[in-house]
Amino acid sequence: MRVSRSGDTVLIPPPLPDYLSAVYNLKPIVGKPIDQDVKAIHAVIQALNAVNHLPTFNNPDLSMQLSQHLFNAQMAVFKASYSTCLMPGDNSVFTPPDLPSHIPGTLKPVVGAPSNEEMKSIQAVLHSVENLANSPQLFDADLSMNLSQHMFNLQFARYMYDSSEGRFVLETEPEELCPIAPQPTIGAQDRITPDEAANLQGGRHKDCPPSGVEQAPEPSSELTQLGETIVNAINDASNKSKDVLENMNRILMSMKNDQSTTGSMSKHYHIFKNPLNQKGDLASECGLPHLRYWYYDDTGKFKLWLNNNDTARYLKFFDIGAHLIEGDEEVKVIDGKYDEAEQLLLAQVGHNH
C-alpha cells in the first residue's frame, strides 16, 4: 500500500506465478476500487484455491498476500461509502444485494450494528453462492463480490461499535507479572552461588521462574552441518524440478477440462462435470463417465444422476467413503448407503446442501 503524489491510496497486488499471470492481470488500484478490480482479486483467489490441494501449486504465502490485498480493497470501498468512526446510535444503513431465486435465504437492510442473526444470515448466503463456483451457469461473480463486500461492511461496523463500547476489555484481571529483582553489583570476593541468590530474593517471589541462563555459543560444526543439509535439500529440489515442470502442462490442461457444463429445463438445472482428484487425474482418464447431478428450484437441493456402480467408482476415484462400498473388481454402494454416498460426493465437488 502506497500514497500517490495526489494523496490517493495505491494498493499494490502481490506478484503472481506464471500459470496465474497468464490468465489474470492484477493491476495497482488507485483510490476507490471499481467492481472489476475487486472481481479480479476474487477470481485469482478462487483459481488459487482450486489447485491448492496439489503440492506443486500450494502457496500459503500467496494466499495470505491475496487475502490481505482483498481486505485492503474492501476497506477502501467501505471508507468511500461509510464513516470509519461509527458510534452507538449511528443509523448507517447497510443494504445487501438482491438474491436470485435459486439462492436460499433472505437478506434485509441492516441499520447500525448488525445482530448475531444478521451476521449468520449473510454468512450462510455467501457460503451458498461460493458453493456454485464450480457451476459456471449458476455462479454469479458480481453477486459473490457484492455479498463478500456486504459481509465485510457488517463485520467492520460490528467491530467499530464493539470497540467504541469497550467490549474488548477482559472481564477478568490480567495475571500479575512477577517482578524482577534488581541485580546487585558483586565484587570478586563476594560472589554467591545461584541457589544462595534465589534465597536472598524473599518469600513472595519464590514462585517466579528463574531468569534464563546464558548459553554458550553453538559449536561451529553444527552450523556447518546445517549448511550442508540446506545445500543437499536444494540439490534434491533441483533434481526434482524437471519432473515438476513436465507435470505442470498436464495438470494445467486437466484444470481446463475440470469445468462444469450446465443445461436448464424449466425449473431443473443439469450439471455435467469431469472432475480432478487429489492426484491430478481426470475422471475421464480413469474410465469414468461425467459426474452428473441436477438442481431443482422447488427443493433447492442437488441430486446425483449416477447409477449405483458409477457412484461407488467415483467414491474410489476420490479416495473417500471406503466404508460405503463393497466388492473388488465390480464395486458397488452397500445397500441402504446410497443417500450417504450421494451427499459425500456432492460435498466433494462443493455442494454441501
| Residue 238 included in any domain | no
How confident is the model at residue 200, as a pLDDT? 44
Residue 102: which of 266, 292, 345, 272 has the closest Cα?
266
| Residue 13 included in any domain | yes
More confident position, 340 or 171: 340
| Residue 195 included in any domain | no
More confident position, 140 or 206: 140
Listed residues 148, 164, 180: the one ending a domain: 164
Q: How many domains does the chain have?
A: 2
| Residue 242 included in any domain | no
| Residue 333 included in any domain | yes
Listed residues 122, 148, 164: the one ending a domain: 164
Please state the pTM of the whole predicted model. Answer: 0.48
How confident is the model at residue 272, as a pLDDT? 79
Work out the average pLDDT over 89-106.
85
Distance, in Å, from the CA atom of 172 to the CA atom of 166, rounded to the nearest integer, reads: 14
Distance, in Å, from the CA atom of 329 to the CA atom of 187, rounded to the nearest integer, reads: 85
- The pLDDT tens digits for 6-48 are 667 899 999 999 888 888 899 999 988 999 999 999 999 988 8
79-93, 199-213, 330-344: which has the highest mean pLDDT?
Answer: 330-344
Residue ranges making up the domain that contains 26? 2-164
Q: Which residues of 324-340 are buried (b: 16+ CB within 10 A; e: fewer)?
A: bbeeeeebbbbeebbee
| Residue 104 included in any domain | yes
